[in-house]
Structure 1
């Protein structure tokens, strides 16, 4: 491939989305079809809710409009009845009656006063009246029911309406009319309300759409695009989102997302370091085993020498080399995120601790005391090699901590390993009089590459030690103490299943265990 064929790098500011990421293939998994996005759903829902609200308002408003229309008809008829005052106890001429009825849109007008009734004007009155309504006392539910009845059945009905005359409560005005004009007026009113509701709905939905789109949809799209970009290259720092200065829920979500992405990048870096470590160990493991095999052959020959000193130290040297060969064979197991299943046997715990003390080989120049404080014959059911590794690791950490106290001969430098049995559980305490564990190490205890207690350490020792103890069904914990130094508690059960109650013991129980150890 020539240089001309190589595409230019995609340089995108941190937290932004590149043009390549925005130009998704149509129909792809990341494409949101028209009408299915949050913006479209928000617009449709806003219109729907406004229309529902208008419908809830529409029914009582139409019933009120009907009452007003009928009241206006009664008022018009009452005004026309004034003409009667000039014709005392006389019938109106037919042309006057016709003009009066035409002006009011009714078929008959009558006045009732003091128990008497007088027909003001009339045409040919139908034989029956279908419905009659009293406007003097109409409840809300009755008004709504009458309005619905008019809209459904008001095409061919004749109705009788009566009510008090305004300004003269003692006089009632009564009219007979067709219901069709009332229904027509109500339908026109309903059409106008519908058009107005639609206009209000679209205007309201538009304002809500643009406001919510600016406040919510765009930030959510930005976060979604960033998560997609981060998923493509999570190891690039430039892919971490830049949180905005918003102080609302979305601003908090952006800050939490940025923190999570940074933590994930840190974890991926640690995993890469661990993978590199496993690769390096695998490269040297083969040669290391050959070297140790040669040392083992030489040690076997030393065992046949008659020198008493050689006879004294040769067995320990052989056990040390055997353990080194075993570690070399099993060291890659941690790189595969597993440890060998414990081969549990009954062990003399004191003798195992003595082997740890001898193999630790504390330099007399440092004046470090190694105290074993436990009863003779205390037995524990565990894998000998794995338990040795756990206690040896904790002891070596204590030695390194005590070496840092050089310069003051008056300081007490002591490693104390104590143990006691409580029922089916053995508790082993490994404590020292060193400077104690730093706060940073406490926060990341038992985490590879983060829980180291000394500069340059990897923190793998405590991580592996806790894995080994957990494989036995027990637990390895740091015991809080007011005294200087560091105290670790190893809790080992005889059987892995019944230990659930012991593994969940609070820290104060561990303090009680430490105080009860002789």
Structure 2
């Protein structure tokens, strides 16, 4: 029997939980789906109402205590009048008038331990509740708090008590704690008075709540909500077309967190717009390079065919420079074939080989004419037997770009003299080779250091493209190494680190 009864109960409870979770999820979704202004309005009204409730309960409790103390005072006056009657025999008419005026049914006084019924009740009364309004003076903070909570509970209980409830109130009659006055009265009168007072407070609270909620809502809306909505709307508008610079937010100039957010958002949007503009220019540049690459390669191929005939000329000077000219044309043709490789997400793996570094440096110096004209000293402090594990063409392009930048930096000086030089040092440290190229030029400005290896941003010359260092850094990177600017004191110095393949 018990098992059959408990089974439906368990199924019913199991069915309630999914329903309750669905309702909570729907309420949460509905709350999260409303706007910020609506949330602010609801929360403001809720919190103000909560504050009014917290004010209403102590207020209604204090009103009840004050009303009962007034009844004790009126009863005390009635008792004094009754005691003044000769023989202390109060006529019925006077007695009725005294208790009616005091709004009580009976009055008793206790002095020195002796209790006397001054105004006795006309009929027999049944007392439903007793309340002692005397407050000891030696209460602790916790006891005082407990007393206030008890008074609030008694005040709330008045609204739910029966209309015919009769209560007895005890209060002080004098300075002595044992001298008291006791009154018996129907609670219906107190209930009606508390209802009127409570309704007045409710009406006043509603008015204050509406005014306060409106003021708080409009103030917070003007200070926070509207600026946040402006930022969010701007973000949505900017996201539709990030390349449109007119959609960048205009900061309001505020000095608080909203102002900081606006300024940072404007800065970020400007950077993004510039980056997208630069990407588009790079894409256009790549398209242009792809269009001219084929024609330029054909032109260089024709020049290569013509230069091949120079090898048949017996002139010693021609025989000396013809192979270098042919090698340069081969390198140019190969560069045209791989010109678009820079824009790829991943650079192709280098064809690495173990080779001597000194001949490659001599080839770079010869290609730039440093070993012939003598205007800029070329100092190569490199061991002839130093080996490096790298791609010959990649490393040639890296060294050529860095050396060409050094030559251009020295030539840009206004006080160019014979002491200017480009010095190359190289050494091996375990399985890593370090190459350092320094010059006596003006050095790298501080403003250019942060964007030194970024395409089209790292140049310090008006006619520079800013691609040399970016390409060099990428080519070193595909070797597993790194290219960095080091402190040289005078001029600029770049250090290349190329690890052997075993380290990678």
**TM-score, scaled to structure 1:** 0.80
Q: Quick check: 1:163–1:174 contact (8 Å CA) kept in 2?
A: yes
Deviation at 1:456, TM superposition (A): 0.8
Partner of 1:249: 257
Superposed, which structure 2 residues align to 1:148-297 within 5 Å?
Answer: 148-153=156-161, 155-165=163-173, 171-297=179-305
Partner of 1:505: none
Partner of 2:16: none
Distance of 2:214 and 2:263 partners within structure 1: 30
Distance of 2:74 and 2:103 partners within structure 1: 9
Superposed, which structure 2 residues align to 1:378-457 within 5 Å?
Answer: 378-405=386-413, 408-409=416-417, 411-457=418-464
Could you report, residue by residue, the CA deviation over 1:425-481 in whole angstroms, capped at 9, with x for unpaired residues? 222101111222234433421122221132211101111111122222221111123
State the Cα RMSD in Å.
2.9
Please say which of residues 62-71 and 318-327 is displaced more in the overlay. 318-327
Distance of 1:185 and 1:331 partners within structure 2: 95
Q: Quick check: 1:449–1:459 contact (8 Å CA) kept in 2?
A: yes
Deviation at 1:236, TM superposition (A): 4.1
Matched, 1:491 2:497: yes
Q: Quick check: 1:241–1:258 contact (8 Å CA) kept in 2?
A: yes
Could you report, residue by residue, the CA deviation over 1:118-174 in whole angstroms, capped at 9, with x for unpaired residues? 1122132334x3321111117323323333443444545332111113688774210
Distance of 1:497 and 1:375 partners within structure 2: 22
3-state secondary structure, aligned to 1:196: helix
Instruction: Name the structure with the higher helix share.
Output: 2
Q: Quick check: 1:476–1:489 contact (8 Å CA) kept in 2?
A: yes
Distance of 1:446 and 1:114 partners within structure 2: 102
Q: Quick check: 2:366–2:372 contact (8 Å CA) kept in 1?
A: no
Deviation at 1:359, TM superposition (A): 2.0
Please say which of residues 374-383 and 145-154 is displaced more in the overlay. 145-154
Matched, 1:140 2:148: yes
Q: Quick check: 2:113–2:178 contact (8 Å CA) kept in 1?
A: no
Distance of 2:203 and 2:373 partners within structure 1: 99
From 88, 95, 102, the equivalent of 2:100 is 102
Could you report, residue by residue, the CA deviation over 1:315-363 in whole angstroms, capped at 9, with x for unpaired residues? 4444333322221111112234542222333232222222222222237
**TM-score, scaled to structure 2:** 0.82
Q: Quick check: 1:106–1:177 contact (8 Å CA) kept in 2?
A: yes
From 470, 479, 487, the equivalent of 1:480 is 487
Distance of 1:37 and 1:208 partners within structure 2: 17
| Structure 2 runs not aligned, ≥5 long | 1-30, 137-146
Please say which of residues 43-52 and 237-246 is displaced more in the overlay. 237-246
Partner of 2:331: 323
| Structure 1 runs not aligned, ≥5 long | 1-32, 499-518
Please say which of residues 320-329 and 221-230 is displaced more in the overlay. 221-230
Please say which of residues 75-84 and 400-409 is displaced more in the overlay. 400-409
Distance of 1:156 and 1:322 partners within structure 2: 116
Deviation at 1:87, TM superposition (A): 3.2
3-state secondary structure, aligned to 1:377: coil
